[in-house]
Amino acid sequence: MKRDSRLSSVLHALLHMAERGEPLTSEHLATCIGTNPVVVRRTMGLLRNVGLVQSARGHAGGWSLAIDLKAVTLRQLHEALGEPAVFAIGNRNENPHCLVEQSVNAVMDEAFAEAEALLLDRFGAITLADLSAEFSRRHMAHLKERNKNAS
Amino acid sequence: MKRDSRLSSVLHALLHMAERGEPLTSEHLATCIGTNPVVVRRTMGLLRNVGLVQSARGHAGGWSLAIDLKAVTLRQLHEALGEPAVFAIGNRNENPHCLVEQSVNAVMDEAFAEAEALLLDRFGAITLADLSAEFSRRHMAHLKERNKNAS
DNA sequence: CTATTTCGTAATAAACGAAGTTACATGAAG
DNA sequence: CTTCATGTAACTTCGTTTATTACGAAATAG
């Protein structure tokens, strides 16, 4: 199955936008992410729909953050993307006539529901600021490593 | 996204096999599940590889259980199927050069790992016997309902 | 005002993986 | 030796995500 990687992509884009204070073009973001400008516009457009980012056309236009990093959770982003299906495995038939299959579905659905609830809960607890902090840590470690090698 | 429904399918098949004591043909199972005999053989073959079922050719041949219902968990079946990817969402790039993307991946992977662990844990706690019991409950309720309507 | 930049969006193609299908070989039982 | 049933390879179909092409709309520089 092909995985939906849009959440990953938008996080990548949003952090780059946070690093640089100025608006970034779809072209620029597409290069960062390794995709196509149109894909960026399509995906970022969903975030704009819920007020997380702004876009401007023409010279010096592009995409910029509309909110504070601390105020956005991964869960909000997941929702902004239309809450795509979380699981790549699932029931064969959602409304089966067969009682055996109904039983299988009922038991599996319960397990899936719990796992999904946990995932969304974790997503709800992670903000863009957390990711930014994680990046800073790694950036520091990276610089330190370079210094050590250079000396 | 197209979900992998093989776990659901084999559960359905295994329970039907448990209901009837005799070997069931791929043809028969395919009809139960609503698929193709070759697909059944392909999938059940994976279970045979780990000793969960047996197959026999020729007259009176077909598929039969090789173990006790209480001794098989959903997790074992998931493993027998090759541990297919659980999530339909994921990182865009598994080994990124960009530090920003590495940070995103690290944080997301943690959340996914926790949710996957929970799901597999639940799968490990559910046996075929549990599913069979769930079916019995539903079967009883179904018969009761029919009686009520008939009277 | 016109050229350039950049977003907005529709339409279409490409890429990928699961499931379905066809075809035929192999082996067991009557 | 015929029939039934699995074993398996090869190929097709189908659904979904991502990429690409094409062009329109708005903002700004000169």
The per-residue pLDDT for B151 is 63
Query: What is the rounded average pLDDT of the residues A112-118?
Result: 96
| Chain B closest-CA separation from residue A61 CA (Å) | 23
Which domains occur in chain B, in start order? 6-150 (1.10.10.10)
* Amino acid B50 CA to nucleotide D11 C1' distance, rounded Å: 28
Q: What angle do CA B115, B116, B119 make, to 5 degrees?
A: 90
Phi-psi region of A140 (alpha: psi -120 to 50; beta: other; left: phi over 0): alpha
The confidence band for A151, taking pLDDT boundaries of 50, 70 and 90, is low
Nearest-neighbour CA in chain B from A22: distance (Å): 17
The size of chain A, in residues, is: 151
pLDDT reading at B112 higher than 60: yes
Structure confidence by residue, pLDDT tens digits, B42-75: 999 999 999 999 999 999 999 999 999 999 999 9
Chain A residues lying within 8 Å of B115, measured CB to CB: 115-116, 118-119, 122
User: How many Cβ atoms are within 10 Å of B102's Cβ, its own excluded?
Assistant: 19
- Which A positions 15-74 lie with beta carbon below 8 A of chain B? 15-16, 19, 32-34, 74
Q: Any idea what DSSP says for residue A70?
A: G
Distance CA B103, CA A46 (A): 23
CA B64 / C1′ C15 distance in Å? 39
The predicted-structure confidence for A119-142, as pLDDT tens digits, reads as follows 999 999 999 999 999 999 999 998
Q: Please report which residue ranges of A20-127 form alpha helices under DSSP H.
A: 26-33, 37-49, 74-80, 99-125
User: What tens digit of pLDDT does each residue of A8-26 get?
Assistant: 999 999 999 999 989 999 9
Per-residue pLDDT reduced to its tens digit, A60-114: 999 999 999 999 999 999 999 999 999 999 999 888 899 999 999 999 999 999 9
SS (H, E, C) A3-39: CECHHHHHHHHHHHHHHCCCCECHHHHHHHHCCCHHH
Record: contact A114-B134, CB cut-off 8 A = no
pLDDT at A95: 86
Distance A130 CA to D14 C1' (A): 41
Q: Would you give the DSSP letter of residue B55?
A: E
